[in-house]
Structure 1
Amino acid sequence: MCTVDKITLYSYQLRQLTRASIQYELCILSNMTSRRGAGYLKRADSEKLHEIFLKYATVEKNGEKQISSEDFVRKFLGLFDEDDYNKESVKLIAGIVDMDKDGYISFSEFQAFEGLLCVPDALYKTAFQLFDTNGNGLVAFDEFAEVMRKTVLHKKLPFNMESTFVRLYFGKDRKRLVTYQEFSQFLHDFHEEYGVEAFKNKDKDGTGFISAGDFRDIMMSVKSHLLTKDLKTKVINASGFPQGERKISFPYYMAFNSLLNNMELIKRVYLNATNGHRTQEVTKEEFLHSAQMMSQITPLEVEILFTLCEMINHSNGRIIYNDLNLITPEQYFKQVTRRVAEIKAVSSPEERSVLIQILESTYRFTLGSIAGAVGASAVYPIDLVKTRMQNQRTGSFIGEVAYRNSWDCFKKVVRHEGTFGLYRGLVPQLIGVAPEKAIKLTMNDLVRDKFMDKNGNIQLYAEILAGACAGGSQVVFTNPLEIVKIRLQVAGEIASGQKVRAWSVVKDLGLFGLYKGAKACLLRDVPFSAIYFPAYAHVKAKFADDNGYNHPMTLLAAGAIAGIPAASLVTPADVIKTRLQVVARTGQTTYNGVIDAARKIYAEEGFRAFWKGAVARVFRSSPQFGVTLVTYEILQRLFYVDFGGSRPSGSELHVSTPIEESRKKPQHIGGYEVAIPVLTGLETKFGISLPRFSFVKPAPQ
């Protein structure tokens, strides 16, 4: 196991070794660092890594293949692909890998860098090697100054290399050599000092104030990596920020930057105040109380936070979690997602044309149909077992029961009717389940949209009402579907030798007969959906990550968990519906409506009869709705179309991060999966940006 100290020790010794020894030591370093990072990223197979190396090794030196600096940076990493690229920048980046600084990268160096990328402090290690231009394992002031003077930032706003801060780290005469651990702290503090130096530079008279224009210049140059798009456009570049003030004080300036640096902490304070709820509104006083309990966030920082939220999202003195996302800068190695499911759209549905609204409904209906078909097919055998168990009579005057339990029923169906017997009635189920699930999902989204406020909040009663409306609306499709499906499912129990088909069942029933048991169907579907959809929304929110994003597996789990109480609690209504819709055989009791069925079932079979098939129903409905909902939401993510209205729940767009983008490159394996994010992190975390072009392009006016 390689420790950071051992890695640093190897860096110290590299300069004193011969070329052959360097290669040998680098191989050892690669193996050790890869083991050190085994828990973080899978190390690439050495042969595969060598195969990739040879694709770019176009130079032969000292009898071995090597990669030139330009080929490594521009072709392998895919950076600086412009014709007028900045050669100095390319040389500096390649120097991170080129340990002996000869302008070429051997396989040993290539392999060592792969190992370096696997260690947990890869970002700091890479930054250290960027500044260690002579490769001796130490950073001198001259090396630091040489690299910094070539950055975009220094060209825009030069840093005072004679400052007390620099002398404290590099010594009074600036001759002190800084180790890796010391340099990591220096780099962390340097950018904060850069901000202070920038303020001093603008405050010529030492008044402790700078103009709003100077503040904007500093933030757009020195602190641009801390700014989101919304912050730049709606705050920093807004006329008269902040709040029409013409001068910005130093305390305000420091609090502003401290706030942006600590947005992840701010989010934890918010979640502490709301007990983990992301849509609950929080006042300034409530936030302050939570902040003082958890951390040392100052009242001025909280004041700025609420001011920013008001300017960006018109929060009216109350903030929700999504407001914080709008001002949270992209963090190193942090997955960034767009939270859109519950936010009010730019245009309201009333402002859109009737045609657009019809197209949107058709779009949702189509996706709901596909999702419903997938969910129904996945659990249909369980549904068949559930139906037969519920239809089994157990009165004392009835003969031997056909099935002892659900498992016994499953085995007997397979034994006597074959595997396909488990799918009796599937075709009409698929024909009917498409519009049934589609109207259910669409109606739930539609009613939720109507009750949702501008911050994406919805009250519990509105969630229940939306679910109830969804359940009620589907009965027009559900009842005909259910009665045909049930009669086909129990047909296999009758050894008549005559095959029962769906169309013959429909003709026998007629139009009104298709709605036999509709009241019982309503008694089942309305409470089911009223329980299911709110439960699903809340469980899904609990499983979401800090940005509110749900992985497909958490969506599946949320759907399955929400289905357990919903499916089990409405089983009595489902039993009554099944008895009403099945044709009674000779000697079996007949029923005349819901109340009559309930009385006779209780009298003949007892209270437990109402819970027949409850286990099978849970095992069917719970995974079915889990599969249906996860399919529905994934389809919305993959095929989202912006109709200008509210986005349906689940249609969040997952924004690709540098890690994910780098993984799209097949040659980036093992540690190299994070090569691009690490180099990107030099700018996003430390503000160190090297010019891409041979000249620094003027900033847009």
Structure 2
Amino acid sequence: MFKFLSNSIITQASCQEGAGYLKRADTERLREIFLRYASVEKNGEKYITSEDFVRNFLGLFNEDDYNKESVKLIAGIVDMDKDGFISFSEFQAFEGLLCVPDALYKTAFQLFDTNGNGLVAFEEFADVMQKTALHKKLPFNMESTFVRLYFGKDKKRLVTYPEFSQFLHDFHEEYGVEAFKKCDKDCSGFISVGDFRDIMLSVKNHLLTKDLKSKVIEASGFPQGERKISFPYFMAFNSLLNNMELIKRVYLNATNGHRSQEVTKEEFLHSAQMMSQITPLEVDILFTLCDMMHNSNGTAAATDVSGLSYESRHTGRIVYNDLNTITPEQYFKQVTRRVAEIKAVSSPEERSILIQILESTYRFTLGSIAGAVGASAVYPIDLVKTRMQNQRTGSFIGEVAYRNSWDCFKKVIRHEGFFGLYRGLVPQLIGVAPEKAIKLTMNDLVRDKMMDKKGNITLSGEILAGACAGASQVVFTNPLEIVKIRLQVAGEIAGGGKVRAWAVVKDLGLFGLYKGAKACLLRDVPFSAIYFPAYAHVKAKFADENGYNHPLTLLAAGAIAGVPAASLVTPADVIKTRLQVVARSGQTTYNGVIDATRKIYAEEGARAFWKGAVARVFRSSPQFAVTLVTYEILQRLFYVDFGGSRPAGSELHVSTPVEEQVKRAHHIGGYQLATPILTGLETKFGISLPRFSYAKPN
């Protein structure tokens, strides 16, 4: 009784600890859910049965011929007093336990602690283990030295939770060794390829991705005939799959965080020796597997006795996406939404025209909002930039109006008021919607088309995507900017009447709206060709190890990328501004890009081409930063799955099961983690309970 009370106290402590990691639903809300599933009443108290909890609440074992013993074992994790009924206090305690960091190990411990005393005896472990699907395929030697080391020579020692967690971690490795020994009947240290495949598909199945299983293991992508798999190779193979998250860190260390950079075996080995004790054999296997995964029939071109590809051994290179293809899916990392989107993009014909139209409308809306936010945030700087660029310093016009950008800013407020800084904002907001939407969409579209099968894109492909984005926006940008510029400089004319946007449009006419379009192309194409690749690389550099970007890192990446892009295209922006502004009396007029370039240089010198460069950087850099961070945050907040793509890095931060769990009705608080954690018993430890009460016919 004392042990049971101690265990209850520990569970309550876990419940309190869980509250610190995940917001708990209040007790009344949890009780309301409990009562919906409680079907038994005893002594005035409601209880949930094993079937109610596992089949109805969790949604597991829905088959008519479900395995009642398995259902009872799973329910026993929650049923602390093991009376076959789950009380509200037990239901509430387990909700808290699911929230703690070691919930998977604690859940596994309670599965084996069948008498609920807070300790696991050998008989309890053996009883549960012998009921698993794995043990029925390949029985484990319960008399092994490994078992006796943990449970004692006479197997009477009781194991505590911390000790059992270590036992469970080591047990599955020992299971693989036991399986190897059974197949190596003559104790030669080798097993056949067929035996290796059987062990991997039974004992180590939870370490195999779908592709690895089909392209390598099931496809016999290893040496055939008399060739064997050695014990060192077997151990290294499994150690590699167990440590793929570490392998990813080694790769990122070798590339300084870049995910698309190819790494040679020598470079990877060097990084591995700096960080961990990954063996050369494991690295050999890693490069061989990556080579095999890209071979359609699952076999390498040439293999030696250990199954290693000679080609991969000497010339193989890997990228980060190669590692994902062989990384086993952990219980807390379900298939993310991004994977489904990439697959949808790779086969767009599967999506109907209506869906694609809806997606375009959705993107247009988000791009419009993001563009409006970005434009409004920096519009006063844009106005100062325009007036500085339009200011002529030739001998024909006398004294300049503004000494510098700050002087211009002060004089606008003094003579035109605060709202003078926002002259021309309305047409800017009207035009910025299609401009930003097309620009962002075109960049994503061309990037998708330029990616190879591994999901990588070359720098030239990134530059081309950006250039296409810049060219596509000119159809909207030029009319927008010529109207905006004429409104912005209107305030410079003392005593001039108020200029309206519609009046400017009527005065220009359709073709007049595209005056200076060549200069606009000369500015926008190189700007986007510089900006988007720079943004992608800086953003990747700022991302965490899961590829996630915090909004502040997105903002910083956008601002940094804008500095070289905005400054280097300033000469084209100056020429465009001069072509689009109405020349006043005494000012030079221009007849095209070449004429403007020649006259500006002759009258004002080379420095004139860099007028407003500072203001342009301070406008364009933060504007695009705000626009892109707004766009990506809107993608997160208002995500709609059309089967298309979304900006890389805009996905929700995926770090816990609660963010990836497909929520069932009434699963709140810790219970949002219930299904992935129970699934984790199999994917992490290989503990799979039979679902059916009898073997189903083939």
Normalising by structure 1, report the TM-score: 0.82
Structural RMSD (CA)? 4.1
Aligned residue for 1:594? 597
Per-residue CA deviation, residues 453-473 of structure 1 (Å, 9 max, x unaligned), is 554444435533543454345
State the one-letter code of the partner of 2:431.
Q
CA distance in 1, matches of 2:521, 2:285: 52
| Residue 268 (structure 2) pairs with residue 266 (structure 1) | no
Q: SS at the partner of 1:425?
A: helix
Aligned residue for 2:621? 618
Counterpart among 186, 209, 215 of residue 167 in structure 2: 186
Q: SS at the partner of 2:179?
A: helix
CA contact (8 A) 1:368 1:434 kept: no
Aligned residue for 1:375? 370
C-alpha displacement at 1:510, in angstroms? 3.9
State the one-letter code of the partner of 1:484.
V
Aligned residue for 2:675? 676
Q: Structure 1 residues 447, 545: CA separation in 2 closer, same or farther (over 3 Å shift)?
A: closer
| Residue 643 (structure 2) pairs with residue 640 (structure 1) | yes
Q: Structure 1 residues 492, 245: CA separation in 2 closer, same or farther (over 3 Å shift)?
A: farther
C-alpha displacement at 1:579, in angstroms? 3.6
Per-residue CA deviation, residues 341-374 of structure 1 (Å, 9 max, x unaligned), is 9999979x9xx9xx99999998997676445423
Per-residue CA deviation, residues 199-244 of structure 1 (Å, 9 max, x unaligned), is 2222233333222222222111111110100011101110363467
C-alpha displacement at 1:404, in angstroms? 4.8
CA contact (8 A) 1:379 1:623 kept: yes
CA contact (8 A) 2:221 2:292 kept: no
Moved more, 490-499 or 259-268: 490-499
CA distance in 1, matches of 2:259, 2:669: 36
CA distance in 1, matches of 2:82, 2:353: 65
Q: Structure 1 residues 136, 534: CA separation in 2 closer, same or farther (over 3 Å shift)?
A: same
Alignment map for 1:324-473 (pairs within 5 Å)? 324-334=323-333, 336-337=335-336, 369-382=364-377, 384-392=379-387, 397=399, 404=407, 406=409, 423-426=425-428, 429-430=431-432, 434=434, 438=438, 441-442=441-442, 445-446=445-446, 449-450=449-450, 455-473=454-472
CA contact (8 A) 1:382 1:620 kept: yes
Aligned residue for 1:121? 102
Unaligned runs of 5+ residues in structure 2 are 296-311
Counterpart among 241, 264, 277 of residue 283 in structure 1: 264
Alignment map for 1:505-520 (pairs within 5 Å)? 505-520=504-519
Q: Structure 1 residues 553, 364: CA separation in 2 closer, same or farther (over 3 Å shift)?
A: farther
C-alpha displacement at 1:658, in angstroms? 5.2
CA contact (8 A) 1:332 1:685 kept: yes
CA distance in 2, matches of 1:459, 1:29: 55
Q: Structure 1 residues 591, 298: CA separation in 2 closer, same or farther (over 3 Å shift)?
A: same
Moved more, 182-191 or 210-219: 210-219
CA distance in 1, matches of 2:421, 2:381: 17
Counterpart among 8, 13, 16 of residue 2 in structure 2: 13
CA contact (8 A) 1:444 1:469 kept: no
Q: Structure 1 residues 508, 190: CA separation in 2 closer, same or farther (over 3 Å shift)?
A: same
Counterpart among 38, 52, 57 of residue 33 in structure 2: 52
C-alpha displacement at 1:537, in angstroms? 1.6
Aligned residue for 1:214? 195
Unaligned runs of 5+ residues in structure 1 are 1-11, 642-646
State the one-letter code of the partner of 1:691.
P
Per-residue CA deviation, residues 529-552 of structure 1 (Å, 9 max, x unaligned), is 122011112023224444545577
Per-residue CA deviation, residues 673-692 of structure 1 (Å, 9 max, x unaligned), is 22222212111111111112
CA distance in 1, matches of 2:676, 2:255: 33
State the one-letter code of the partner of 1:424.
V
CA distance in 1, matches of 2:112, 2:637: 45
Per-residue CA deviation, residues 383-442 of structure 1 (Å, 9 max, x unaligned), is 6424432343667646699995658858987866799x6742146515xx5267526752
Aligned residue for 2:298? none
Q: Structure 1 residues 649, 35: CA separation in 2 closer, same or farther (over 3 Å shift)?
A: closer
Normalising by structure 2, report the TM-score: 0.82
Q: Structure 1 residues 522, 358: CA separation in 2 closer, same or farther (over 3 Å shift)?
A: farther
CA distance in 1, matches of 2:448, 2:60: 46
CA distance in 2, matches of 1:344, 1:287: 32
Q: Structure 1 residues 623, 209: CA separation in 2 closer, same or farther (over 3 Å shift)?
A: same
Aligned residue for 1:298? 279
State the one-letter code of the partner of 1:374.
I
CA distance in 2, matches of 1:83, 1:411: 81
CA distance in 1, matches of 2:673, 2:688: 18
Aligned residue for 2:71? 90
CA distance in 2, matches of 1:140, 1:445: 60
Moved more, 602-611 or 286-295: 602-611
How many residues were matched structurally?
Answer: 665
C-alpha displacement at 1:151, in angstroms? 0.8
CA contact (8 A) 1:202 1:214 kept: yes
Per-residue CA deviation, residues 579-600 of structure 1 (Å, 9 max, x unaligned), is 4312244576655623434665
Moved more, 247-256 or 509-518: 509-518
Per-residue CA deviation, residues 165-201 of structure 1 (Å, 9 max, x unaligned), is 1122222222221122221111111111111111222
Aligned residue for 2:691? 692
CA contact (8 A) 2:520 2:576 kept: yes
C-alpha displacement at 1:104, in angstroms? 1.0
C-alpha displacement at 1:661, in angstroms? 5.3
CA distance in 1, matches of 2:200, 2:615: 67
C-alpha displacement at 1:128, in angstroms? 1.2
CA distance in 2, matches of 1:543, 1:343: 26
CA distance in 2, matches of 1:628, 1:14: 56
CA distance in 1, matches of 2:99, 2:137: 34
Q: Structure 1 residues 674, 79: CA separation in 2 closer, same or farther (over 3 Å shift)?
A: same
CA distance in 2, matches of 1:423, 1:604: 29
C-alpha displacement at 1:511, in angstroms? 4.8
CA distance in 1, matches of 2:692, 2:572: 72
CA contact (8 A) 2:380 2:421 kept: no
State the one-letter code of the partner of 1:296.
Q
